[in-house]
């Protein structure tokens, strides 16, 4: 890839070159870029923010990204970098419009985490009280780069706790009014990826349970427990 193409790729992922500015200790700023690294042992993709300072390349870890394409992973990495305050806001007092164009959307996105969200923790706590044991944030299928929030390996039950904004909850998702096309495409991509993940797991003999973050932890845990019990009964037989 040429330098011009790399620049265009980064600009598009960041929603514009003005959103790629990294603050420097001397009060200045530098143009940043995101580097993606696939770790072969874990098959996880980690994102790093890179920039040049005094002729030397600096680097800072952003976080893990889990999308299906390089473009989507870059976009998520830039959004996460902004969320963590690693880049400058183009206009004083105004956050990047393509990242979060309203206080409500900003609140949702700041609360978004890759794992150990409050709904996940509440569900896991309830499952544990019910005597169930499980694995957390692992791939049900080692060869497929998709991570479930709670996994019952023996029973082959995979549980996903989906955020209402990011996964397009029919009850609570409210489309963005600014940069609507950008966000509509992103949410549609997430929903498509969810459906693809479900089908991959079902084809491999897994039971897939998706729980919205707004659902009652008690009711959700009861649903999961029933599915695990049913699968274990099918496995052991009469």
The predicted structure's pLDDT at residue 107: 52
What's the predicted TM-score (pTM) here? 0.56
* Percentage, residues of the chain above pLDDT 70: 87
CATH number, domain 118-236, options 3.40.50.1010, 3.40.960.10, 1.10.260.40, 3.30.420.40: 3.40.960.10
pLDDT, one tens digit per residue, over 185-234 is 888 888 999 999 999 999 999 999 999 999 999 999 999 999 999 999 87
Residues 6+ apart with CB under 8 A from 193: 67, 68
Residue 224 exposed, middle or buried by CB count within 10 Å (0-12, 13-18, 19+): buried
**CATH 3.40.960.10, the chain: domain bounds:** 118-236
């Amino acid at each position: 890839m040429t330098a011009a193409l790399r620049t265009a790729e980064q600009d598009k992922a960041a929603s514009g070159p003005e959103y790629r500015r990294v603050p420097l200790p001397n009060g200045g700023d530098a143009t940043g870029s995101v580097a993606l690294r696939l770790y072969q042992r874990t098959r996880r993709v980690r994102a790093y923010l890179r920039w040049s300072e005094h002729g030397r390349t600096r680097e800072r870890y952003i976080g893990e990204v889990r999308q299906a394409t390089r473009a989507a992973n870059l976009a998520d990495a830039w959004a996460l970098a902004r969320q963590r305050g690693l880049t400058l806001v183009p206009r004083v007092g105004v956050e990047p419009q393509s990242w979060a164009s309203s206080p409500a959307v900003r609140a949702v996105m700041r609360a978004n985490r890759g794992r150990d969200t409050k709904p996940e923790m509440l569900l896991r706590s309830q499952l544990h009280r019910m005597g169930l044991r499980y694995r957390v944030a692992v791939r049900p299928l080692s060869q497929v780069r998709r991570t479930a929030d709670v996994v019952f390996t023996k029973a082959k039950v995979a549980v996903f706790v989906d955020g209402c904004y990011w996964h397009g909850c029919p009850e609570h998702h409210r489309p963005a009014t600014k940069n609507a096309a950008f966000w509509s495409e992103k949410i549609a991509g997430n929903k498509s990826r969810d459906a693809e993940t479900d089908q991959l797991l079902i084809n491999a003999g897994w039971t897939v349970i998706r729980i919205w973050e707004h659902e009652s932890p008690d009711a959700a845990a009861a649903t999961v427990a029933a599915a695990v019990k049913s699968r274990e009964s099918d496995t052991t037989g009469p």
